[in-house]
Chain A
Amino acid sequence: MILTEGLRSAGAAVRLWFSPARVRAEGTTPDYRFSLANERTFLAWLRTGLALIGGGFAVDQFLPRLHQGLRVTCTVVLLVGGALCALRAVNHWVRCERAMRRGEDLPVTRFPTALALGVGVLAVAVVVLVLLGRTT
């Protein structure tokens, strides 16, 4: 029940990405400064995603003595996290833009908390792995 509801709302969100005309048709155009602030937030999330992707490449390239399986796992986790951040960037941007046009409250999500916890756990894991010297 919760799952189907979640899938439906995710589908609606993705449809919204591809129908910008529908977003523009709603409500009134907000102050351009608010739109620019929303754009900067979008860019900040995109940079977060890029940083995670770059971090994934860095783990693979700068920890050559780490066990290969662990290294590939860390890299893939970081690459997937970066991809999720990029998708979240555009999703949040569209939802904020729509909320501003409709004069609603801005959407709240748990994504930043989940990201912070995930990055923290991964950082601790990599530090422990490097300290233990899990070499090939």
Chain B
Amino acid sequence: MAGQAPPDAGPPRPAPDRDPGLQPERTRLAWRRTTLSATAVAVLAARQLLRSAAPGPVEVALTVLTGLLWIAFVALAHRRMQAMATGRPPGLSPRAALLLVGCTLALALCGAVILVRPGH
């Protein structure tokens, strides 16, 4: 077709305020999936407690701790997801990565303590 411009002759591209490959968006969705996984684990950990006939103070304390760990996890993820709003987000801070892993380990530990408590 005669009147059509060649594909690479468009106007000069402006400085991107978003990534053309949608990398931040994909990363944000990965964070979202991760918080969903953490939520499922926290719910299962809480259910572990509710199954014991008469929850004692240790069980209640562990459940509260599980809830706090979940809140910390989601809050960290939320902060990172907000950073994904820009076209070129800064890198993940190692401290945040360590905190997230720490929350995960503590969730597992809470579940293990509830599991092996005598009388469970």
- Chain A residues with a Cβ under 8 A of chain B: 17-18, 20, 23, 29, 32-33, 35-37, 39-40, 42-44, 46-47, 49-51, 53-54, 56-58, 60-61, 72, 75-76, 79, 82-83, 86-87, 89-90, 93-94, 97
Contact = CB atoms under 8 A, between A and B. Distances in A.
Interface in B72-99: 88-95, 97-98
Closest CB pairs A-B (n = 4):
A20-B94, A57-B44, A50-B37, A86-B104
A43 B95 contact: no
A61 B23 contact: no
Interface residues of B, number: 40
Given A42-B97, A57-B47, A83-B105, A75 B115 contact: yes
A61 B51 CA distance: 8
A89 B21 CA distance: 25
Interface of B: 19, 21, 23-24, 26-27, 30-31, 33-34, 37-38, 40-41, 44-45, 47-48, 51, 88-95, 97-98, 100-101, 104-105, 107-109, 111-112, 115-116
Majority DSSP secondary structure for residues of A touching B = helix
B11 to A, nearest CB: 24
B23 A37 contact: yes
Given A36-B27, A40-B30, A61-B44, A72 B116 contact: yes
Given A29-B91, A36-B24, A53-B41, 18 more contacts: A17-B98, A32-B88, A36-B26, A39-B30, A40-B27, A47-B34, A51-B37, A53-B104, A53-B111, A56-B108, A57-B41, A61-B47, A61-B48, A86-B101, A89-B97, A89-B101, A93-B92, A93-B97
